Amino acid sequence: MFGRLLALNWKIFVSNLNKFQLLLLIGYIMFLGIMTVNLVGTAVVVLLLDSEPWMKMQLPWLTPEIYSFLLLVFANTYWLMHFSFTNLRLLNIAENRKLLGFGFPLKKLSKYLMIIGFCHPVNIIYNFTWIVFLMIQVSNFYQVLVGIAAIVFNYVLIYSIKHRFIKIIERRFIAVVAGFLFLIFGLFQAVSLFAENSQQIFYHIIPRVDTLNNFLSWSPGGLLTQTVTEEYGWLNAAIIFGFLCLLIGLIVVDHFHKTCEGLNNPTIKKEEQQTSKLWSFLRKVMGKNAGKYYYYVMIHPYNKLQLLTLAIVPVVYVPLLLQVKYEAAQTILIPTILAGIPVALLAMGMANMYGYENRELLMHLQFPVKLEKQLKERFLGVIILPLMVFYLITIFELLVIPQIVGVFKIFVANTFFFLCFMVLFIWSSYYQYQKATYTSFSYKHPIIPQKVTFVISFAIFTMGYFIFVPIPGLEWYRITIMSVVIVVIAVYLWRHVGFLVNLFKKQILTRLWTE
């Protein structure tokens, strides 16, 4: 029965992928292979650092204390990575729970799903690396038993914490995401500071390395390392082993009950929501059609995350790049990053314009308002916000980076960038339609199809280099070509908005009816 369940879940997973995504899956499997080799390789290199006489010659500062320090830093960094990348999203609970209707016993299903969930390839790779990392350091047999028990305990604990963390994210989404982004970018800043002043920092660290080691050995990675580096005897080992097994058992039982609960109550229970102020605001500002559409875009958790990222990335990168002495960073990278912001906003609203409402659009078609008018309102509504951001960015660039180009040039370049992507998104909305649900958050169920995301990312940087890299002497030719293309696109769209209606009826309507 377990084999059949595994086969069913594999079929569910594969049937949700199109040919392009299947191709990506092959790439992902290759990536997992490379990741395994890299992780295990790094662990082995760090471990064997001091055993090579040649290394001792090359790195005279590598005293036993510094070596312990490096091992502990590695173990803790690796633990952080393990925590961050432990994957929980392998199973489709909604599909699996249908088996309950066919008489599959709840407890058995819960048990099997839990086992399949625990065996996600990424999770196995991390645990395998832990085993390699710890087992190389083993000097007694009892350390093997305790080390393995500690690895299993560590894993089930991370798994359990993350399960609860997901619920917290759902409840306090913005606070958690903002905190997470702050942490990531804070770390980024800290690393850049460290890289610039490493000698000075090491000078301060070396005298205190013992204190640091003491501290690090009690952090999660350090504790795991201690299970195989300390000598604690068979009796203590038996007690620790027994205690760890008890804890593992308790966590697994708890997780089993949680899975049962999830199978019985699949919907996410959120607090009762009253009338939304955002909806009232958008309705007033943007009208009935565009307002409703924008409301749907804005309340989707994935877009909230996008907005936060769009706000935070330039705040971190632009000041950093402004400090860099290399002029190309200012004249090419900053304009490309900044021109990418309105494009990303446009992508949020336009790359899958009908995916947010899906079948609800049929209701709009029944309204006594011409479809052309409704679509036009949406279309214009979607453009307003990115366009405002676009103008603000243009003004910012003119004020802060005067060396980049002249007023006219930057305006033409940004408009060109914006319009080209608008055409790409129109294509995507009509020919790459896909349903966006509340859970459209992951690789399997994205809001914007992966194909489009790849095209966008690739195009942003390619076009950025084509548009913003100065070409001495030929600048005016480029400006002329871009201006002509802008006029052609604008005139075409203005005169043929009606074609959106026909395209909607042809490409989207039948799919919505049969959805």
Site for other proteins, rule CB under 8 A? 267, 272-276, 279, 288, 292, 295-296, 299, 357, 359-360, 362-363, 365-370, 505, 509-510, 513
Which three-class secondary structure state does DSSP give residue 51?
Answer: coil
Q: How far is the CB of 347 from other proteins (least distance, A)?
A: 21
Report the residue number, 273 or 323, with the smaller CB distance to other proteins: 273
Measured distance CA(206)–CA(65) in Å, rounded: 9
Report the residue number, 295 or 468, with the smaller CB distance to other proteins: 295
User: How many residues in the chain?
Assistant: 515
Report the residue number, 437 or 457, with the smaller CB distance to other proteins: 437
Are 28 and 87 within 8 A, CB to CB? no
Report the residue number, 35 or 371, with the smaller CB distance to other proteins: 371
Of residues 143, 293, 297, 167, the one with CA closest to residue 224: 143
The tokens of 57 are what? 């010659």
Burial bucket for residue 260 (CB in 10 Å: 0-12, 13-18, 19+): middle
Are 470 and 405 within 8 A, CB to CB? yes
Measured distance CA(488)–CA(259) in Å, rounded: 57
Q: How far is the CB of 355 from other proteins (least distance, A)?
A: 13
Measured distance CA(17)–CA(415) in Å, rounded: 35
Measured distance CA(140)–CA(59) in Å, rounded: 30
Measured distance CA(392)–CA(386) in Å, rounded: 10
Report the residue number, 161 or 369, with the smaller CB distance to other proteins: 369
Report the residue number, 370 or 496, with the smaller CB distance to other proteins: 370
Are 385 and 346 within 8 A, CB to CB? no
Q: How far is the CB of 296 from other proteins (least distance, A)?
A: 6
Q: How far is the CB of 366 from other proteins (least distance, A)?
A: 5
Measured distance CA(107)–CA(105) in Å, rounded: 6
Report the residue number, 271 or 403, with the smaller CB distance to other proteins: 271
Q: How far is the CB of 12 from other proteins (least distance, A)?
A: 23
Q: How far is the CB of 18 from other proteins (least distance, A)?
A: 21
Report the residue number, 4 or 359, with the smaller CB distance to other proteins: 359
Of residues 120, 67, 64, 111, the one with CA closest to residue 89: 120
Report the residue number, 292 or 378, with the smaller CB distance to other proteins: 292
Are 411 and 371 within 8 A, CB to CB? no
Q: How far is the CB of 365 from other proteins (least distance, A)?
A: 5
Q: How far is the CB of 505 from other proteins (least distance, A)?
A: 7
Measured distance CA(42)–CA(63) in Å, rounded: 20
The tokens of 70 are what? 């490096």
The tokens of 505 are what? 């009826």
Are 251 and 164 within 8 A, CB to CB? no
Report the residue number, 231 or 360, with the smaller CB distance to other proteins: 360
Which three-class secondary structure state does DSSP give residue 403?
Answer: coil
Q: How far is the CB of 178 from other proteins (least distance, A)?
A: 23
Measured distance CA(129)–CA(143) in Å, rounded: 17
Report the residue number, 258 or 288, with the smaller CB distance to other proteins: 288
Query: Half-sphere exposure of residue 344, counting CA atoms within 13 Å on the CB side?
Result: 21
Q: How far is the CB of 173 from other proteins (least distance, A)?
A: 16
Instruction: Evaluate the CA torsion angle 459, 460, 463, 466 in order and state its sign.
Output: negative
Q: How far is the CB of 513 from other proteins (least distance, A)?
A: 6
Contacts of 240 (CB under 8 A, 6+ apart): 146, 149, 227, 232
